Amino acid sequence: MSPLFQKPISRRSALSIAGGLALAGTGLQASTAAAEGGRALPAPALDEPAGQASSEVAVFAGGCFWGVQGVFQHVEGVTNAVSGYAGGERATAQYEKVTSGRTGHAEAVRVTYDPRKISYGRLMQIYFSVAHDPTELNRQGPDIGTQYRSTIFPTNAEQARLAKAYIAQLNQARAFRSAIVTTIEPDRPFYAAEAYHQDYLTRNPTAPYIVINDLPKIEDLKRHFPGVYRSTPVLVATAGVSN
């Protein structure tokens, strides 16, 4: 069986397919993973100051990297978004090993962005608002395990400080019905995922898992953040894996 068909099975796609069949006569509804996150949350009270750098990197994990990558690929100011793994060792940064839930890795997305066009705080706002549900512990929708945890992997001390402050701000404001469980894990290398995982949402827009779990996130981004939404995504196939 080709890798493109192995992934949905490992993600309990049978649940998504069954749900899709049940919804066939009534129209698609937002996925479980997006149920809490489809909203425009307040912007961070603290954000990075405008600088002269033309490129910076942020790393976010929020369940299946297909959807998280797809969201950030549609954000203006993002120059690349690569699916991969963070939290574990290089030797175990392979999909077949990460799916065991025993490697320490989370499926993550490395976002390269132009801070002159979009800030780190704005990226976090999108991450918490529409890219995933930050109140689900070690899972997102049908995907269960620590490899699907909600985690920010800051690439420097300032990002860690801003992430901690924003989580505290959202919890204090009771932005969600439950407390945010997102962890902050600094000093964790990122490793790009296999080629067949890159640009998966764009290449497989009719796959049941994508239709039910991830396309609603793109619609939420378009609806809640029209000022930064772009219809044509930036793709790894064009930008390349390296930053």
Please list the active-site residues: 64
Residue 117 is encoded by which pair of tokens?
């066009």
| Cα 236 to Cα 243: distance, rounded to the nearest angstrom | 10
Q: Beta strands 150-152 and 183-184: pairing type?
A: parallel
Q: At what angle do helices 65-73 and 215-224 cross, to 10 degrees?
A: 30
- 50, 168 contact by CB (below 8 A): no
Q: Is the dihedral of CA 197, 203, 207, 212 positive or negative?
A: positive
Q: Which of 216, 142, 138, 180 is nearest to 41 (CA)?
A: 180
